Each structure stands twice: as structure tokens, then as C-alpha cells.
């Protein structure tokens, strides 16, 4: 029987039937702007409702943006989700879905779990998942378990501080990995370097032909490599799985590897491109929900 999974993001909410690490069927609705708990529950329920019967009363896995721990959900940035305090989201959603058991993970953590079980991280007991897209996100699997931390903050790699006086970040910090190496940051720096608006995709197309493009992309890749070397010092993972529109852009991973090669050998974790794409969170949430609860 397939497992029902729901992935709640800032712009869209997807629900899917997942079996054996594969998405069999999916539905999507828009996530309302700056939703509170009721609006988020409504979006999740609307996406999931048509798939409920086919998942036959089984557990429901939820991957959501925000801080998820022990079934509760809270926002990092209340402009994204209006959840300043933790709400018992898993229990609330379970009640709306006719009493189904719901297991909740942060979306980056769910994606890390998905890659660990069914993607690029199979066989890696400890892995770091990092997605470099519009922002920078991530998740951790440590010794074969997803790590959420005390507040659900574990794995939010975009909030690592990499430059003391860097630009402001949505987390409230300054000079974070996200503020310097995300797609948004690359586009901001590219606009300054080239004197006109440029998309990250176009900028990557200019690699090797425009030294200003190479400089902006090279700097972002170097910052990311330094953060990964720090993660080696912290967790010494078996693997770092890199995803996202920028992370998987042609040539990007090679630049990160070249920058890592300038670090001492101990601080160079093995890298691999993500394998599950946009389905990683759904696959991970479903797999985690379908596991027997641990004592």
C-alpha cells in the first residue's frame, strides 16, 4: 500500500502517494501567503484529500518548511509562516485527516532522509544534504537517524555564519551561507558585477566567456566549500549530497570540489549530486512515516 506524504513549502503544498521510494501520484495546491496554522492545515488537507482513500488508513508523512521537532511546527521567519510559537501541527493535521497518525519532519531533513534511503546517499550512515536554490537549505542524517535538534533548527545550513559583516539574512543573522551563496545572492552579486539584472542560469551560461561571471560564481562556490569543510569538522559525514537549481547547475559541483581541494585533506567530505530532485522531501517523509516507531 502506498504511503501518503505532504510537502509544505512557502509557495506550494504537494501531496503524493509514495511507494518504494517512488512518487506514484501527486497533487499540488498553492500555499496561501503568510499562512497561520489554520491556513497551512487547510492547504495540506486540500492537497491530501483526493489521495486519502488510496493510502488505506496508513500513516501520513509531512515535510514542512520551518522548525519541526516532536510533531510541532514553528516558523524561523514569520513573514513566511505566521507561526511565532510552536503548534502541535502533526496532531492537528491528523485530526483533520480522520485520525491518521502523522509524522512531521522539516523539509530539508525529510529530503536528507529521502536521499539516505532511496537516493544518492544510500549506504551513507551519516550524511549532510544541502540544497542551493533560491535560498540555501539542508538536512542531517546522523548514524542512520534524521537529526532535528532541540528546536528543529538542526540542518538549516543556510544559516551558518560565513562572514562577520556580510549581508542581512531572513534568519535575522548576518553573513550567512544563504546571504552569500544562494541563487538570490548570486543574482544580486551578478547584477552589481555586470551592471544589469542577470538570472543565475544566464550567469552560468557565461562561464568561461565572461570573467565577471566566473568571479561571482567562483566566490559563491568557495563560500559553500568553506561551509562544507566546517561541516566536516563538526560531523565528519560519510557524504554530502548537493541539490537545488544552483547546486546541480552544470559545472557548479566541480568548482566546489576545486575549492575543497585547497582545504587540508581531513576537511574534504565526499560530494555527490542529489538523485531525487523535487521529490526528495515527499519520498523521505513517506519513508519516515512508514517506519515502525522507535522506543
Residues found near ligand ADP in the complex (CB under 6 A): 133-134, 183, 199-201, 204, 244-246, 249
Over the range 254-272, which residues count as b (16 or more CB within 10 Å of their CB) and which as e? Answer: ebbeebbeebeeebbbebb
Residue nearest to ligand ADP as judged by C-beta position:
183
Nearer to ligand ADP, 124 or 246 (CB): 246
Nearer to ligand ADP, 58 or 167 (CB): 167
Question: Minimum CB separation from ligand ADP for residue 249, in Å?
Answer: 3
SS3 81: coil
Nearer to ligand ADP, 189 or 268 (CB): 189
Question: Minimum CB separation from ligand ADP for residue 87, in Å?
Answer: 24
C-alpha–C-alpha distance, residues 244 and 286, integer Å = 21
Question: Minimum CB separation from ligand ADP for residue 134, in Å?
Answer: 3
Where does the chain have alpha helices with state H? Answer: 37-48, 89-96, 107-118, 177-181, 183-194, 200-205, 211-235, 252-260, 280-290
Question: Minimum CB separation from ligand ADP for residue 55, in Å?
Answer: 26
Nearer to ligand ADP, 76 or 200 (CB): 200
Q: Other CB atoms closer than 10 Å to residue 184's CB: what's the count?
A: 17
Grid cell listed for 237: 559525514
Question: Minimum CB separation from ligand ADP for residue 100, in Å?
Answer: 28
Nearer to ligand ADP, 126 or 133 (CB): 133
Amino acid at each position: 500500500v502506498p504511503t501518503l506524504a505532504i510537502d509544505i513549502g512557502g509557495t506550494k503544498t504537494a501531496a503524493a502517494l509514495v511507494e518504494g521510494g517512488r512518487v506514484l501520484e501527486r497533487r499540488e495546491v498553492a500555499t496561501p501567503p503568510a499562512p497561520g496554522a489554520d491556513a497551512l492545515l487547510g492547504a495540506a488537507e486540500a492537497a491530501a484529500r483526493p489521495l486519502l482513500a488510496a493510502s488505506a488508513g496508513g500513516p501520513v508523512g509531512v515535510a514542512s518548511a520551518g522548525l519541526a521537532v516532536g510533531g510541532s511546527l514553528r516558523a524561523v521567519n514569520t513573514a513566511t509562516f505566521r507561526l511565532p510559537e510552536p503548534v502541535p501541527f502533526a496532531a492537528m493535521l491528523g485530526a483533520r485527516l480522520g485520525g491518521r497518525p502523522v509524522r512531521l519532519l522539516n523539509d530539508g531533513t525529510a529530503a536528507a532522509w529521502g536521499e539516505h534511503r532511496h537516493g544518492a546517499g544510500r549506504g551513507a550512515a551519516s550524511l549532510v544534504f544541502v540544497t542551493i536554490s533560491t535560498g540555501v537549505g539542508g538536512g542531517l542524517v546522523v548514524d542512520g537517524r534524521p537529526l532535528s535538534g532541540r528546536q528543529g533548527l538542526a540542518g538549516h545550513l543556510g544559516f551558518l555564519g560565513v562572514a562577520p559583516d556580510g549581508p542581512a539574512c531572513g534568519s535575522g543573522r548576518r553573513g550567512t551561507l544563504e546571504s552569500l551563496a544562494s541563487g538570490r545572492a548570486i543574482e544580486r552579486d551578478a547584477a552589481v558585477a555586470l551592471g544589469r539584472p542577470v538570472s543565475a542560469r544566464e550567469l552560468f551560461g557565461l562561464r568561461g566567456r565572461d570573467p565577471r561571471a566566473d568571479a561571482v560564481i567562483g566566490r559563491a562556490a568557495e563560500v559553500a566549500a568553506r561551509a562544507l569543510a566546517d561541516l566536516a569538522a563538526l560531523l565528519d559525514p560519510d557524504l554530502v549530497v548537493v541539490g537545488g537549481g544552483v547546486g546541480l547547475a552544470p559545472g557548479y559541483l566541480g568548482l566546489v570540489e576545486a575549492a575543497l581541494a585547497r582545504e587540508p585533506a581531513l576537511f574534504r567530505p565526499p560530494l555527490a549530486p542529489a538523485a531525487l530532485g523535487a521529490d526528495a522531501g515527499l519520498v523521505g517523509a513517506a519513508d519516515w512515516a512508514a517506519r515502525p516507531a522507535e522506543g
